[in-house]
Structure 1
Amino acid sequence: MRKLINVQKQLIPDLSDTMKKRYTILHHVRLIGPVGRRTLAQTLHMTERVLRAEAEFLESQGLLDIGPDGMRATVSGERLLEEMEPLVKMLFGITELEEELRRRFGLKQAVIVAGDSDETPHVKQELGRAAASILRRYVTKGDIIAVTGGSTMAQIAERMTPSPQFKGCWFVPARGGLGERVELQANTIASAMAKRTGAQYRMLHVPDHLGEEAYQSLIQDPTVSDIIADIRKARIVLHGMGEALVMARRRRVDERTMTSLLAEGALAEAFGYYFDEQGRVVHNMPTVGLRIEDIDNAELRIGVAGGASKGRAIAAVIRHGREDVLVTDEAAAEQMLLMGPV
């Protein structure tokens, strides 16, 4: 297929450009539809005249529905987008970027979506769709799936659908609550994923950050210890990653800890563990839930994060050596590849 694409680019370059343009329009309509022409033209930095002509063509092919409330992709349009994805990744150069990222960081698989989720919220939605698809591919009946919280994880939950392989599966929170908005907490996301897939779930009603005395007391409670035992048996871990200082502020750590993180060169955070640029753990917070050794024991670890601002942080977590599959966006991938060897 790659040879054919290269020949086509040389002989009929306009064909590739037209295909990219129409795919991009249909793709964005699927993500944000129903959407008006003016809004979509602004989003795609395209004139309304050009967009109108392309939208009318897509409608004539039965791929787009244009109604009073805006444009939306038809069932045929959504099916075509799915079928075109491998081809489009080659046309956009994303296939090569995925392979380079996979080799550089020793991943089982790298999945990259176009764009920068820092600049375009719709890219985060696409991260969610891609991650939901990856989980569906790897899950098996009866799995325990531990999930973390955050806005990207909430997008994954939104895009989960019923599937036979989720039968008998359990979604569990990887850790306690962050003290942030309820809809972004791991408990909420685990329950949403279970409801959307037809699986079951358990919740862990404890704070994320605990003092040592409170931590020791909680893990002795039979109800809590029973849930923790399930969490620590997870076969799949699905998690986000963040910048160390941003996550520390979200967790409301004290100034002394913030100063320590800066001094230790903390760059990234995942699971309550803070990593430096080389992927070394420089600090961890006492938390009820997954420990680093439990993550080691999981059969499959799927990390999901995007945005140019997170590129270096994502690389730091992966350099720790506990990632199998990474789902990210173009901007983050490019930043990761700019980093030198460890």
Structure 2
Amino acid sequence: MRRVLDIQKQLVPDLLEIMRKRYTILHHVMLSGNVGRRTLAGTLGMTERVLRGEIDFLKTQGLLEVDALGMRVSEAGRQLVESFRPLLQDAFGLTELEERIRNHYGLKQVIIVPGDSDASAHVKMELGRAGAAALRKAMKEANAVVAVAGGSTMAEVASHLTSAVPMKGVWFVPARGGLGESVELQANTIASTMAKKTGGQYRLLHVPDHLSEEAYQSLMLETGIVEIIQAIRAARIVVHGIGDAMVMAKRRKVDEATRQSLVSEGALAEAFGYYFDRQGRVVHKMPTIGLRIEDIEQMETVIGVAGGKSKGEAIDAVLRYGHEDVLVTDEAAALQIAEHMVREKQPETKNKSS
């Protein structure tokens, strides 16, 4: 099959682009459930005229169902999307890229979805679906405690979990306090959503995201707080997003002095309340209640889910920290990560030749 794809790329390269375009249309409609043509055209960045022609073709093939309420993927279309996904990964070199990144950073698994989640809500949805699949795989054993970070990507992961196989023995807990962010993006909200979606259970941590040292010491004397902290730190799995350091500092309303300190320390990435520099070193920690870096290092499975071209450098920084097990990302971020991998090797090549 690989040989056929290579020949096809050389003889009819346009055919691969057509396949990818039609797959993208089907896949987006499948994720949306039911969508109108105008909405779909806007989301995919296509003109309605071009999209109309593709929809007519897919409808004729029995892959799409269209009525006054919108479009839906038929059962045949759903099966085609599921079976075509691995072929698409291979055709566009994503399988090879997954393996390169996995080997370079010593990860157990890398999952790359096509596209750029910075530019497409459809890709962000697919990132969430892939993240949910990776989390379900890690939760196979009962009685696991899963620590969940906050953020829009984690909310997307939560939305794609299902109760097809109920996980009554699984507990979901927030990785850290989060009062202060938008409610729907707080770790508490996402942990409870994941529990309800999977048939699991959850506990919440009602404390602010940022604390003074005095407030931190005071809260750690509360029996209820200590109990939930112990449960969080006993987690075997953590699933988290990865953010650009300065974007996250601004979103969390970090004071100007701390922002300047982050800049001077070379902070590039943020994950679970810690800031990392280009070499993957922790350069700053926000004073929050929740998981500590030493807890992360003892985890059975650490799953990072993040995508978008703008996140490539930040993801690279967190991967260099060296305690991720699974990375779920998109094509745009993966290509940026690959560029960092190449630049890292260049000085070594020069040294060997000198």
Q: TM-score, normalised by structure 2?
A: 0.91
1:196 is matched with 197
Deviation, structure 1 residue 247: 1.2
Tell whether the 8 Å contact from 2:179 to 2:206 is kept in structure 1 after alignment: no
**Counterpart for residue 56 of structure 2:** 56
Q: Partner amino acid for 1:26?
A: L
Which runs of structure 2 are paired with 1:288-327 in the superposition (5 Å)? 288-327=289-328
* Cα distance, 1:47 vs structure 2: 4.7
Alpha-carbon distance between aligned partners in 2 of 1:178 and 1:265, rounded to the nearest angstrom:
27
Offset of residue 280 of structure 1: 0.6
Q: Report the more deviating stretch, 62-71 or 320-329.
A: 62-71
**Distance in 2 of aligned mates of 1:321 and 1:42:** 39
How many angstroms apart in 2 are the aligned matches of 1:165 and 1:324?
24
| C-alpha distance in 1 between matches for 2:7 and 2:260 | 56
Residue 146 in structure 1 maps to residue 121 in structure 2: no
Aligned to 1:279: 280
Secondary structure at the aligned position of 1:341 is classed as: helix
TM-aligned CA deviation for residue 234 of structure 1: 0.8
Any conservation in 1 of the 2:179–2:207 contact (CA below 8 Å)? Answer: no
C-alpha RMSD over aligned residues: 1.9
1:134 aligns with 2:134: yes
In structure 2, relative to structure 1, the CA distance for the partners of 1:2 and 1:68 (3 Å cut) is same
Aligned to 2:349: none
Q: Which residue of 2 aligns with 1:118?
A: 118
Distance in 2 separating the partners of 1:145 and 1:160: 14
Contact 1:211 1:286 in 2 (8 A): yes
Instruction: Give the counterpart letter for 1:30 in structure 2.
Output: M
Compare 307-316 and 248-257 and name the one that shifted more.
248-257
Number of residue pairs aligned between Structure 1 and Structure 2? 342
How far has the Cα of 1:166 moved from its partner? 2.2
Give CA deviations for 1:61-119 in whole Å, capped at 9, x if unaligned.
Answer: 43211011221212332232122211111122211221222122221111111111111
Once the two structures are overlaid, the 10-residue window that deviates more, 96-105 or 151-160, is 96-105
Aligned to 2:348: none
SS of 2:34's partner is coil
Distance in 1 between residues matched to 2:217 and 2:42, nearest whole Å? 54
For 1:235 and 1:175, how far apart are their aligned partners in 2? 15
Tell me, yes or no, if the aligned pair for 2:172 and 2:201 is still in contact at 8 Å: yes
Q: For the residues of structure 2 that align with 1:25 and 1:57, how far apart are their CA atoms?
A: 11
When residues 98 and 67 of structure 1 are mapped into structure 2, their CA distance, relative to the original with a 3 A threshold, is same
Q: Distance in 1 between matches of 2:252 and 2:13?
A: 51
State the AA in 2 paired with 1:316. Answer: A
The answer as to whether partners of 1:178 and 1:250 remain within 8 angstroms in 2 is no
Taking the aligned partners of 1:35 and 1:165, their CA distance within structure 2 comes to 29
Report deviation, 1:48. Answer: 3.9
Q: What is the deviation of 1:35? A: 2.5
Answer yes or no: is 1:171 the counterpart of 2:159: no
Contact 2:166/2:199 (CA < 8 Å) preserved in 1? no
> How big is the shift at 1:261?
0.9
Are the aligned partners of 2:233 and 2:291 in contact in 1 as well (CA < 8 Å)?
yes
Residue in 1 that maps onto 2:221: 220
Aligned to 1:3: 3
For 2:75 and 2:179, how far apart are their aligned partners in 1? 39
Structure 1 match to 2:344 = 341
Deviations 1:242-292 (CA, angstroms, capped at 9, x unpaired) = 111111122222222111111111111111111110001111112111000
Distance 1:255 1:50 in 2: 49
SS of residue paired to 2:220: helix
Q: Which AA in structure 2 matches 1:60?
A: T
Structure 1's unaligned 5+ residue stretches are none
Equivalence for 2:350:
none
**Residue in structure 1 matched with residue 73 of structure 2 by the alignment:** 73
**Is the 1:90–1:96 Cα contact (8 Å) retained in structure 2?**
yes
2:92 counterpart residue number: 92
Per-residue Cα deviation, 1:218-247 (whole angstroms, up to 9, x for no partner)? 122111111111111111100011111111
Gaps of 5+ in 2: 346-354
- What residue in structure 1 maps to residue 40 of structure 2? 40
CA separation in 1, counterparts of 2:132 and 2:183?
Answer: 21
Deviation at 1:5, TM superposition (A): 2.2
**1:17 Cα deviation after fit:** 4.2
AA aligned to 2:138 is Y
> In the TM superposition, what is the alpha-carbon distance from 1:49 to its structure 2 partner?
4.4
1:155 Cα shift?
0.5
The one-letter amino acid paired with 1:77 is G
